[in-house]
């Protein structure tokens, strides 16, 4: 039975192609806000980091009312590191809006999300966005979308639907058109097409209850909240239900509260009918994939499988000499409690304590996925240190060693393409496609995840900042052998003092500095990078020796190059196995794991890394 008063749609796109802005304009077009209400741009990106990074991290549900029809909209992350969100929430949708930039066309992460939408059998409507920007070519963007759908194995029905249902839009300017030149200035053509063309949920309203939890919210007051779609029957507030786990185990529970989505918020209700999306309170320990069903007539649904983590990092309490100066949460017990809380809330991460109790191992889908957690914790006042990210290997059916493989795409001027190809070759990458255009060359590679770390900066260096670089997890493949690591050595501070301009002036002739005058440094801290291999211990507090004929200021005119600043992700990609990143609310520092030079030398001798 079709629930004609409901539409469930997901919006999928590459990072920065405008899907969150598009949702903003749909909300405004349907009078979701009062005339005098102050509303921020990109209202769905409610997380501080989402606003600062300009990306969607968490999938979010809202609903829009239009001509008496409730449109449940799922705004999905476009970045592959948050793929755990995408895979699950698409199960709640019947159709999808594929949003593509009119100038850039489909990008690598469009492929990632679109593959899941096609596999889920969704009807896909194409929205060509930013048709007013310079270089826009809507016709080419549409053809590229259709080609991509064919490559990903779309059915004939999906391809025909996409060809017949195309909308041209400028989300930033608030208009959608059926023809790029028809002059319409509002969003109603898009809303009309959603209502008229995308399928309504086809469900059994009178059947036994079947609802599957696809995402988890958490409240300090009521615990876990299971969010999902009702596939058949109706769930009521106060119902006694059967909870069937992914592993087949079963338990009884009672619904204590029930919510549906209403514009930007949730509205408490007495029932959620088949086809709609709801949030259930009262299921202790509920998890992704749990099926809420009728105890007397249970319904079986396919379990939800989440792609496993591909990378892990060890979190440890900070042992820096400067610990406690910038943050107020520094103990190992507090760090452990915070990460155990994250394990409750974030099912896409695996978090376990190390056997020796020295730290917590956190596994996720990529460096960005892990660094978002670190960034959140440092904003909460935590100080901690983390080791070098390491990829997670698997064993194949024949016992062979497998590692995560990424698809990487580089767009760069043609004269730099040779250097880019050489860079990928040095880190185990193999080129799978090359398209030379008049202005830009499009390069595609298969590369082990290990080789991705630190690659972005090197690509930007050899292309003079003109390259665009994307990568997304592709599959587990055969181990690619040893991959070269950082070639240049580090400059390491020999003492705990503030950096002095005179000392830095002599050091910058030997490489690139990471600190400026007056920066608090400590023994074992990385203060720069040498221009040749091998680490070098340096004195960052050395001052000029004074003779009895000169004042302290005479002949001193130090011209310092600005130090290189690292983001959290860049620092994680830069460090080596014997180094750590120290994270505090105000600073990101890199250091040696063993701070004292004598102790470091003894450790290297014990491990056969240097001659005695």
Residue 21 annotated in ligand binding = yes
Provide φ and ψ at 18, rounded to 5°: 105, 20
Q: Which residues contact 39 (CB under 8 A, 6 or more apart)?
A: 33
Residue 20 annotated in ligand binding = yes
Side-chain-facing half-sphere of 99: CA atoms under 13 Å: 26
H or E, element range at 273: strand 271-273
Residue 442 annotated in ligand binding = no
Q: In angstroms, rounded to a whole number, what is the distance separating the alpha carbons of residues 279 and 281? A: 7
Q: In angstroms, rounded to a whole number, what is the distance separating the alpha carbons of residues 463 and 457? A: 10
Residue 17 annotated in ligand binding = yes
What would the two tokens of residue 375 be? 């960034």
Residue 71 annotated in ligand binding = no
Residue 130 annotated in ligand binding = yes
- Coil, helix or strand for 120? coil
Q: Are the C-beta atoms of 364 and 346 separated by less than 8 Å?
A: no
Q: In angstroms, rounded to a whole number, what is the distance separating the alpha carbons of residues 452 and 473? A: 11
- Start-to-end C-alpha separation, the chain: 79
Q: In angstroms, rounded to a whole number, what is the distance separating the alpha carbons of residues 490 and 527? A: 8
CB-count exposure of residue 79 (10 Å: 0-12, 13-18, 19+): buried
Residue 129 annotated in ligand binding = yes
Q: In angstroms, rounded to a whole number, what is the distance separating the alpha carbons of residues 332 and 339? A: 11
Residue 81 annotated in ligand binding = no
Closest CA to 232 of 326, 325, 148, 301: 301
User: 3-state SS of the chain: helix, strand, coil percent to 5?
Assistant: 25, 30, 45
Annotated binding-site members for GTP = 16-21, 129-132
Residue numbers in the known binding site are: 16-21, 129-132
């Amino acid at each position: 039975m079709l629930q004609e008063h409901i539409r469930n749609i997901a919006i999928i796109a590459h990072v920065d192609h405008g899907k969150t802005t598009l949702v903003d304009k749909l909300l405004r077009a349907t009078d979701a806000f009062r005339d005098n209400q102050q509303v921020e741009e990109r209202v769905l990106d409610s997380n501080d980091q989402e606003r600062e990074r300009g990306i969607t991290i968490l999938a979010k549900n809202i609903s829009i009312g239009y001509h008496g029809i409730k449109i449940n909209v799922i705004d999905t992350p476009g970045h592959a590191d948050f793929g755990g969100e995408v895979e699950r929430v698409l199960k709640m949708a019947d159709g999808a809006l594929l949003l593509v930039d009119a100038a850039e066309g489909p990008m690598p992460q469009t492929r990632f999300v679109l593959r899941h939408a096609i596999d889920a059998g969704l009807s896909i409507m194409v929205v060509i966005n930013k048709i007013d920007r310079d270089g826009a070519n809507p016709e080419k963007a549409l053809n590229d979308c259709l080609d991509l759908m064919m490559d990903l194995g779309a059915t004939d029905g999906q391809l025909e639907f996409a060809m017949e249902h195309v909308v041209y839009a400028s989300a930033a300017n608030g208009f959608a058109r059926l023809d790029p030149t028809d002059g319409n200035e509002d969003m109603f053509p898009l809303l009309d097409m959603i209502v008229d063309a995308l399928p309504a949920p086809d469900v059994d309203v009178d059947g036994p209850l079947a609802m599957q939890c696809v995402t988890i919210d958490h409240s300090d007051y009521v615990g876990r909240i299971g969010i999902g779609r009702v596939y058949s029957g109706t769930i009521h507030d106060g119902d006694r239900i059967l909870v069937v786990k992914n592993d087949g185990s079963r338990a009884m529970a009672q619904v204590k509260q029930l919510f549906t989505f209403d514009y930007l918020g949730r509205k408490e209700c007495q029932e959620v009918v088949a086809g709609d999306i709801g949030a259930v309170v009262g299921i202790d320990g509920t998890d992704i994939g749990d099926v809420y069903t009728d105890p007397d007539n249970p319904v079986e649904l396919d379990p939800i499988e989440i792609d496993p983590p591909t990378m892990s990092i060890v979190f440890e309490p900070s042992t820096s000499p400067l610990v406690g100066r910038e943050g107020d949460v520094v103990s190992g017990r507090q760090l452990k409690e915070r990460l155990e809380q994250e394990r409750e809330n974030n099912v896409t991460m695996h978090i376990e304590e190390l056997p020796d109790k020295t730290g917590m191992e956190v596994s996720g889908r990529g460096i960005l996925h892990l660094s978002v957690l670190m960034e959140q914790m440092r904003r909460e006042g935590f100080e901690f240190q983390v080791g070098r990210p390491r990829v997670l290997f698997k064993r194949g059916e024949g016992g062979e060693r497998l590692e995560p493989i990424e698809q990487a795409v580089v767009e760069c001027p043609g004269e730099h393409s040779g250097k880019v190809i050489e860079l990928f070759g040095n880190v185990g990458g193999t080129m799978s496609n090359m398209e030379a255009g008049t202005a830009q060359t499009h390069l595609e590679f298969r590369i082990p995840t290990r080789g991705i770390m630190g690659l972005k900066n090197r690509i930007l260096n050899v292309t003079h900042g003109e390259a665009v670089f994307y990568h997304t997890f592709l599959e587990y493949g055969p181990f690619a052998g040893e991959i070269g690591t950082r070639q240049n050595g580090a400059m390491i501070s020999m003492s705990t003092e503030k950096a002095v301009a005179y000392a830095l002036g002599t050091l910058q002739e030997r490489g690139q500095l990471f600190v400026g005058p007056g920066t608090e440094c400590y023994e074992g801290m990385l203060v720069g990078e040498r221009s040749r291999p091998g680490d070098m211990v340096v004195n960052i507090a050395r001052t000029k020796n004074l003779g009895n004929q000169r004042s302290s200021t005479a002949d001193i005119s130090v011209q310092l190059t600005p130090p290189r600043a690292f983001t959290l992700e860049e620092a994680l990609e830069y460090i080596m196995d014997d180094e750590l990143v120290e994270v505090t609310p105000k600073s990101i520092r890199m250091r040696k794991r063993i701070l004292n030079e004598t102790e470091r030398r003894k450790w290297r001798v014990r491990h056969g890394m240097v001659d005695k």
